């Protein structure tokens, strides 16, 4: 069965619907599935995260609807899947938080060498802007090459400190929202 998360509006929020063939597909898929044309190749939990990352806003009353073949819907399966999804969210959130911290530390570390490159670039740029330097070299090296080198030195650290962490922060918010969403299990419609 080809499965994908879809949006199904309901009063108060948009559900995230994930069609699974087996409950275990919420967290993992068999590697052999890559050889099958219509098999699930992405765990349902990852699909939920990706679906919500694509949305501009997660509705407060949205819920996760897992559809399974009727014979797979058993007593307590919703609670089991909810617990498994909570554990998945805890693990993914911990990983994302580590990645945010690593980006911050890398940004701080690279700020030192980037600042040195920035200062050297500005000093060399200023040196080539002296009145006794021919206009060609002033334009090429003073207002060009060395000025660009100086700014490039700061770009990487500033990118890590202010921009690169934003997608990770968004992912953390989505994963936290998923951990609070109710999970409902329904029997799949048989075509």
* Residue-wise pLDDT tens digits, 150-160: 999 999 999 99
Tell me: the pLDDT tens digits for 20-79?
A: 999 999 999 888 877 888 888 899 999 999 999 998 888 888 899 999 999 999 999 999
SS3 16: strand
Q: Which residues contact 190 (CB under 8 A, 6 or more apart)?
A: 69, 70
The mean pLDDT of 2-16, rounded to a whole number, is 55
Q: Is residue 136 scored above 60 in pLDDT?
A: yes
Q: Is residue 5 scored above 80 in pLDDT?
A: no
Angle at 86 between CA 161 and CA 74, to 5 degrees: 150
């Amino acid at each position: 069965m080809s499965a994908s998360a879809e949006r199904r509006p309901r009063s108060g929020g948009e559900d995230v619907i994930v069609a699974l063939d087996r409950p275990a597909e919420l967290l993992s898929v068999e590697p052999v599935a890559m050889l099958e044309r219509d098999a699930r190749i992405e765990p349902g939990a990852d699909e939920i995260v990706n679906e919500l990352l694509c949305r501009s806003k997660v509705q407060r009353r949205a819920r996760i609807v897992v559809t399974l073949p009727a014979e797979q819907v058993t007593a307590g399966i919703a609670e089991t899947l909810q617990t498994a999804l909570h554990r998945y969210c805890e693990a993914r959130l911990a990983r994302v938080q580590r990645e945010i911290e690593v980006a911050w530390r890398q940004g701080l570390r690279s700020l030192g060498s980037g600042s040195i490159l920035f200062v050297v670039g500005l000093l060399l740029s200023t040196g080539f802007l002296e009145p006794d330097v021919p206009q060609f070299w002033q334009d090429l090296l003073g207002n060009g090459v060395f000025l660009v080198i100086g700014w490039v030195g700061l770009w990487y650290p500033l990118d890590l400190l202010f921009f690169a962490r934003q997608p990770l922060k968004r992912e953390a918010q989505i994963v936290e929202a998923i951990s609070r969403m109710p999970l409902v299990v329904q029997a799949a419609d048989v075509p």
